[in-house]
Amino acid sequence: MMMVDLSSRALWTAVLILLSSGISCDSWCPTPNRDSTSAKFQQKATKFWEFEQTSKRWVEISYPFDLMSCVDGNCTKVGSIEKTEEKQSRAKITKEDGLELVLPLRKRLSLTRMSESSLWVTGQSGSIYERFWNGVEWVIAPHELPTSAGQAISVFIINQTILSLSEAGMLYQLELNENSQPIWTEFTLLSDPKIHTAGTEQKSTMRIKSGLVSNDGERLYLSTTNGSLLEISEIQPLRLYYHGRPPGGDVVAIADSGSIRPGVVFTVSTLGDLYEFDRKSKPAWKKHIWSEKTTKEILLAPLTGCRINGISGTHSHSLFLLTKDGFLVERRLHKRKWKWRVHGAPEGYYFSAITSAQQNDINERMLSLFLTTTGGSVYEYQLPKNSGVKHGDEIEGLWLNHNHPKQAKIARGIHGVQIQTGRFIFPLDDGRLGELHLTGIGGENIGPTLQISNRRKTSNKYEWSILDAPETEGWNAEYCTEENGPSNCIAGTKSILTFRKSQDHHHYISLPNYDNSASESNNFITKTIYDNFRMRMMHPDRSFFFITDSGVTFEYLYTENVWLWLRHEQSTAIKGALGSYNGSLFLVDTHGSLLLRERSGNELLWINCTAMKNGRHVESGPPWDVIPGTVRRVTSEDALYFVNKKGRLIQFTVALRKFKWKDCRSPPNIKIAYIVDQEVFRLNIIFIVGRNGHLYQYNSITDLWHEHYQSPYLVLSRSPGTAMRPSPLSLTGSLFMISENGGLVEYNWNSLVGWEWVEHGTPYRDVILVGAPGPSFDGTQLFVVGSDGCVYRRHLDQITWKWTSHGYPYTQNGALEAPRRSSENQKCGADDENVAKFEEDQHYTDSIKGSCNEKVAPTRPIPFSEGSVIFELQDGRLAELQKGSGDAEWEWVRIIGTPTSLCLTAYWTAVAS
């Protein structure tokens, strides 16, 4: 809000504004998101009074009444109170008013229409993908920029040439290489020597801020980061024209390019002024001012406008724009005369984007344009077509509220596109796409159709459909491949349309922003942190960490052909190992401090991450890091996620050692128990289980929480889970968790059915599963620990799920004697009498009898290689279960003695310096 020193008269008037309108500052003060340059007084009432010093009484003011700002004797006008019936009292859009919340402004989102069957999208994550109709179904093809280019923010298509603009302001062109594969190449624009002064570099690369393709699709107009206007008329060879800046202004956005008049460009400046550029005119730049006496000057928003012809007759042209206050205004050209008109907005709403609509004969008497509100709804504004009224007579338009898709909002400030008559695509705030279409001619499974040509049989009623976005946005649309199948890029498979079910997203519940700051003195996570984060793999087949009951950190390391225990000394006791990244380990101590253990040269260092700026105390973290045999996808935004004592999700950015903390909060009124999975199953998605036993997800791109649907009879245990994906190139796969009653639960996704819960139960009637599920292998195998101390494997045999018991290792005198035993001798899942008899067997010499117990503990096991798992035994030792070569079964291969186990086994130990 602008802070000024008002004169006594203006100060009393400011007080009177509050008194006369009877509203609070929440509904009177300017919206804080607006630019400081546009902050100004807004009139919210029709009657005002001032206190007259001579008569000592209140008197009604006369209009107009100027508000003055006086600083050190210098007074300037900062506002004016006018008597007008056109101004309406508008409350700021707040939750308290019962209206929609103002959504955050999303970066990088854009939509570009190539044809009725092709739509190019840049996502919030900076990805580029194309959604196109291959004749059978809609498929999605990735077109990512090179990693070195960074994130994309928009796509331009001129003369069949595709260009992309990166967030760094560079252009890239999509070309075919010698193998006929599409690749992005940098499209460098060198600045004109005339724009440089003496002593500066004669030529440098120009950075681009935004752009707009001309109405005929043959030219591209660009605004540079220094506020200049560029024009590209040809790509090969390049024809570039530098048009500079308007006198006294700059170019921050291009409002229109050739739709009002060919070759004429309309731009918006930083201050909100409208300029017109015509290279054939002298001067080339003209400023459109608010000259009407009855109209107060309004500042424009830096957005693309919308052109409509024929409002005042056959030869009238209108450019619709938005103001910084979110109102719709019109700049109309009729009989060579320009005129401004303010159309405003429905009461209680503000607009953030305009979507152009091709004028058609669905409604022969009306013209339409579509506007997105700051709260995520869509309004249609209908105006009479060729009304024939005099230029001075104005007819009000009709506002039609199309709202938004169920449980989804339209992204703020991003315009949609019309892909076909009666079909509009809008980016959603959660990363997906929303289609607003006439009944019967749109949706996920309907391609470009000619049904719209039969006007009399087409309904004029619009409805919404939600379209999934790719994995980079955290949803469930798969990129197409060249393999013949449901996601085939070119030919498609007609049979898929027969079996594909409608994917209803009712189970995605969008959760609004909130403040969950309640604390909890006794955190239950402390009781299970040792079980779930006692071990952590560092290097496959070479190194893993083990935390003892007393809080000492040991590393089991293979070096110089010898396995040994390496002790990592720390002044405070450690509770668990919460994650690893780039060869560094993250641990948490008993105080909740996040500690980083890493090597610097020849030394090992401890770094307290909680002591960093905005550092947080944590309790637990992601269950898995990278799966052995897979490669971690490294990005400039890599982060680890943790849960703190208050049950909130905490992000710690680790990429490029630019450590940064962020509070991601939690679902409203829900405390987080554990992270089920971090980005193994879905890129940019963190699945968590709440302390109410329900599954939720957090999207790190959109910062949105969603609750997944589950039966009220299904309650999940408060423990981590395991992700299983048969192929890293496909989204098909499952999350495995343990239910509250000790059964195995699967949450499966496939493109034919969507999300589906599957209950696998338990291996035997009297055996339940304890702890958290262990690692998965090959996308078909999962290990769990039973209450009987035995290891069970749930695996897929062709198309049937089966249970296989692997018992626990059998030893004699502390050494692994029989690595593989028949199921008859394992006694797992047998009746109580057989189990008791089995426990009476003499496995040890008298010297260690009573101290050893090979049964498996409920500690969450960890993978140690592509084909081995490490378990903790109930006597404190560790055991390795390994898959044999070829078709051989899994077998116990060794028992590893630990420094603190009472069951003695030989080991080497050392202390890390």
In tens, the pLDDT along 840-870 reads 443 333 334 457 999 999 999 999 999 999 9
Burial (0-12, 13-18, 19+ Cβ within 10 Å), 192: middle
Contact 301, 291 (CB under 8 A): no
CATH number at residue 781: 2.130.10.10
pLDDT at 396: 82
Model pTM score: 0.82
Higher per-residue pLDDT: 87 or 120? 120
- Residue 360 and residue 358: Cα distance in Å, rounded? 6
Question: Per-residue pLDDT tens for 246-262?
Answer: 999 999 999 999 988 88
- Whether the ω angle into residue 302 lies within 30 degrees of 0, i.e. cis, is no
Q: Write out the two tokens for 372.
A: 């997105």
> Quick check: is 689 in a domain?
yes
pLDDT band (50, 70, 90) for residue 690: very high
Percent of the chain with pLDDT over 70: 77
Domain count, the chain: 1
Specify if 683 maps to a domain: yes
Distance from the first to the final alpha carbon of the chain: 56
Residue 193 preceded by cis peptide, ω within 30? no
* DSSP structure class, residue 61: P
Is residue 743 a part of any domain in this protein?
Answer: yes
Q: What is the pLDDT of residues 167-179, one digit of tens each?
A: 999 999 999 888 8
Residue 199 reports pLDDT greater than 70: no
- Which region among 122-136, 449-463, 678-692 has the lowest average model confidence (pLDDT)? 449-463
The whole-number pLDDT of residue 164 equals: 97
The residue ranking higher by pLDDT, 913 or 352, is 352
Rg over CA atoms, the chain? 33
Q: Which residues sit opposite 603 in a β-bridge?
A: 600
Q: Is 347 exposed, middle or buried (0-12, 13-18, 19+ CB in 10 A)?
A: exposed
Low-confidence winner among 133-147, 167-181, 280-294 (lowest mean pLDDT): 280-294
Higher pLDDT, 526 or 668: 668
Instruction: Check pLDDT > 90 for residue 373.
Output: yes
Residue 725 domain-assigned (yes or no) = yes
CA of 151: how far to CAs of 93, 288, 313, 708, 776, in Å? 32, 35, 45, 30, 33
Encoding tokens for residue 197? Answer: 């002064």
d(CA 330, CA 321): 6
Q: Exposed/middle/buried for 493, CB within 10 Å: 0-12, 13-18, 19+?
A: middle
| Domain membership flag for residue 591 | yes
The CA-CA-CA angle for residues 669, 674, 677, to 5°, reads: 115
The least confident of 545-549, 698-702, 823-827 is: 823-827
Rounded to 5°, the CA angle 664-666-667 comes to: 135
Which long-range contacts link 359-363 to residues 24+ away (Cβ below 8 Å)? 359/308, 359/309, 359/310, 359/385, 360/421, 361/455, 362/421, 362/422, 362/438, 362/452, 362/455, 362/458, 362/460, 363/460
DSSP H stretches of helix in 643-772: none
Q: What is the pLDDT of residues 9-39, one digit of tens each?
A: 433 333 333 333 333 333 333 333 434 344 5
Which tokens is 905 given? 């086994």
**Residue 906 confidence (pLDDT):** 64
Give a yes or no: residue 686 inside a domain.
Answer: yes
Q: State how far Cα 834 lies from the chain centre.
A: 54
- Taking the C-alpha atoms of residue 306 and residue 260, their distance in angstroms, rounded to an integer, is 10
Q: What is the pLDDT of residue 3?
A: 38
Query: Chain-wide mean pLDDT for the chain?
Result: 82
Beta 909-912 vs 562-568: how paired, if at all? Answer: parallel
**Confidence check: pLDDT of 321 > 80:** yes
Handedness of CA 451, 453, 456, 462 (dihedral sign): positive
β-pairing, 49-52 vs 57-60, is: antiparallel
**β-bridge pairing 57-60 and 744-750:** unpaired
Residue 710's domain spans which residues? 522-810+850-896
723 assigned to some structural domain? yes
Specify the residue for token string 């084909």.
Answer: 867
pLDDT in tens, 227-245: 999 999 998 889 999 999 9
694 vs 506: which has the higher pLDDT: 694
540 within some domain: yes
Tens-place pLDDT, residues 522-552: 445 556 788 999 999 999 999 999 999 999 9
Q: Is 15 helix (H, G, I), strand (E, B) or coil?
A: helix
Between residues 190 and 115, which one has the greater pLDDT? 115
* pLDDT for the residue 837: 36
Q: Classify the phi-psi angles of 561: left when phi > 0, otherwise alpha if psi is within -120 to 50, otherwise beta.
A: left
Using the CB atoms, write b or e for 265-283: b if 16+ within 10 Å: bbbbbbebbbbbbeeeeee
